[in-house]
Structure 1
Amino acid sequence: MKRASTILQDADAVRWTPMELLDWLNEAQRAVVIAKPNAKSGTAVFNLVSGTRQTLPEQYTILSRIIRNGGATGKAIRQLARREILDAQLPGWHNTAVLPFNAQADYAFQDMMNPREFYVAPGNTGTGSIEAVVGMVPANVAAPSSGSQLDIAAYTGTVDLPDIYQSILLDFLLFRAFSKDSAAPDAAQRAQTHLGLATAALGGMGASEMAMSMATAFLTQPAAG
């Protein structure tokens, strides 16, 4: 926020108040995880409901990978790429009379057309849980006490993203700030420039991660012949 004020030549945060900058900063965090869900990710354990169809809890943005059943001795869960595998072999698998529900899941799959839902087989009894890699909603940076909300130096909260996203968040703040001042000369163009920088940086990070992941997979493959 202080860096944004410096670039805006508003070091005392008068034209763009600290409360505005904070709102935009928290909005920027959410924009980052929308564009790049693994920007804030981790392993979580959450409870299952009764049945085969399950819903991702609201505090998570995306289900990346299901690891195993919850608990210290939870067995691994095999992820299926296609539901048709189960449908063909056991058409009644949603019915507990055909495939009895269990606290432990053997298989799981997710239809990417509905990313907030997934299915487990056998259906759960409502007493089980799973361990999964998930995307998370960043926590908002808190404002200082009401008596110091106009003092930008009082904003000392921690952003809930890794430090490598600092310049991206700064560009998002400047995009919003210049958009507010769009009547000023070149402000609209500067706003779009900062939005473009943030978007390009997020895209570049995603491409770099993908390349690194592919390279790692290639290097760990056994030599041909």
Structure 2
Amino acid sequence: MTVQDILDRLKVALVDESHTLWTEAELLGYINDALSALVIARPDLGFKTHSYNSASKSIEKPTDYYRFETVQSAGGIAIQFVDIHKLNQLEPTWRTATGMPYCWTRYDDHVDEVFLVPAPSEAIDIEIIYSAHLAVSIITDVLPVPAIYEGLILDFVLYRAFSKTGQGGSDMNKALSHQNSFYSTLGQKQQVDISRLQLQEKKENSR
């Protein structure tokens, strides 16, 4: 599914084949706004792996970084999260310690301030998973989300488009209808995904 596929459907829905009321660049901007809304609601849609080499205890944030998820490994070894309050009790000198990291932590009120513990004593390979800011730039770009989200993207773009022309009357009603459809469908899918995850966890825990 490409940006052009979305634009072709929008031409029909907006009855604007020649982009008289809404320019292609404008609709492209709305598509990017839709992608941002999706990632805010579903950060997993933007999950990426970032591998780098560093001796810093603070994680490196890629240019398309939106939100941190987890540290996969440090020095080729899998490491896990340890709550910072527990770490303060068990390892009060962790902030100045160096060596091979065995865990990672973060502050409660700064969830993107992530630290390896202890800080690497030398440069090592580090791998993290993060949620990326998703965007498209040209009409031949492939949309960076599964095709099942095409309807949601269309609803969001139509909501924004009709909001522009709907100072009152039918266009504003159309805008509100597409806005409600977007958030309602997104909420329903989130609930289904949560239920599926809970069922999967229940099966795994019963083994």
Task: Please give the range of the TM-score, normalised by the shorter of the 2 chains.
Answer: 0.7 to 0.9
Give the equivalent residue in structure 2 for 1:120: 116
Give the equivalent residue in structure 2 for 1:8: 14
Give the equivalent residue in structure 1 for 2:35: 29
- Of Structure 1 and Structure 2, which has the larger fraction of its residues in helix? 2
Give the equivalent residue in structure 1 for 2:151: 167
Equivalent residues of 1:55, 1:117 under 8 A apart: no
Number of aligned pairs? 201
Q: Name structure 1 gaps, 5 residues minimum.
A: 143-154
Aligned partner of residue 110 in structure 1, secondary structure: strand
- Percent identity, aligned pairs only, is 24
Give the equivalent residue in structure 1 for 2:78: 76
Aligned partner of residue 128 in structure 2, secondary structure: strand
* TM-score relative to the length of structure 1: 0.80
Q: Name structure 2 gaps, 5 residues minimum.
A: 1-6
Give the equivalent residue in structure 2 for 1:146: none
Alignment of 1:151-166 (within 5 A): 155-166=139-150
Equivalent residues of 2:51, 2:126 under 8 A apart: yes
* TM-score relative to the length of structure 2: 0.86
Give 1:203 deviation, angstroms: 2.0
Give 1:167 deviation, angstroms: 0.8
Equivalent residues of 1:69, 1:105 under 8 A apart: yes
Aligned partner of residue 115 in structure 1, secondary structure: strand
Query: What CA distance in whole angstroms lies between the structure 1 residues aligned with 2:93 and 2:27?
Result: 54
Note closer, same or farther for the CA distance 1:181–1:202 as it changes in structure 2 (3 Å cut).
same
Asked if 1:204 corresponds to 2:200, the answer is no
What whole-Å deviation, never above 9, does each CA across 1:145-188 have from its counterpart, x for those lacking one?
Answer: xxxxxxxxxx4332222212111111111011101102352222
Note closer, same or farther for the CA distance 1:62–1:49 as it changes in structure 2 (3 Å cut).
farther
Aligned partner of residue 116 in structure 1, secondary structure: strand
Aligned partner of residue 16 in structure 1, secondary structure: coil
Larger radius of gyration: 1
